[in-house]
Amino acid sequence: MEFCDKCGGLLMPESENGKYFLECRNCDERKPLTEEIADSYSSTLKISHHIGDEYKNAIEMEKWKKKI
């Protein structure tokens, strides 16, 4: 897992316009999502060489949780 340089908050993978990055839940700080970082999320998000459907599903799940 990666943490925010500004506030120490947890960075979560997000996507926008087909690009993937890490975004802080507290201050909206963004970091590029490198393959190395993606690997550190592989316990919850399965990413091999490219970003697959399970990754997208995890993001959709996050959005879904916010609606409740």
Give the shortest CB-27-to-Zn ion separation in angstroms. 3
**Which of 3, 27, 34, 40 touches Zn ion by CB under 5 A?**
27
Cβ within 8 Å of residue 52, ≥6 positions away: 46
Residues belonging to the chain? 68
**Which of 3, 6, 34, 60 touches Zn ion by CB under 5 A?**
6
Do 26 and 7 form a contact (C-beta atoms < 8 A)?
A: yes
4 in contact with Zn ion (CB under 5 A): yes
How many residues bind Zn ion, per CB under 5 A?
8
What Rg do the C-alpha atoms of the chain give, in angstroms?
Answer: 12
Name the site residues for Zn ion (rule: CB under 5 A): 4, 6-7, 9, 24, 26-27, 29
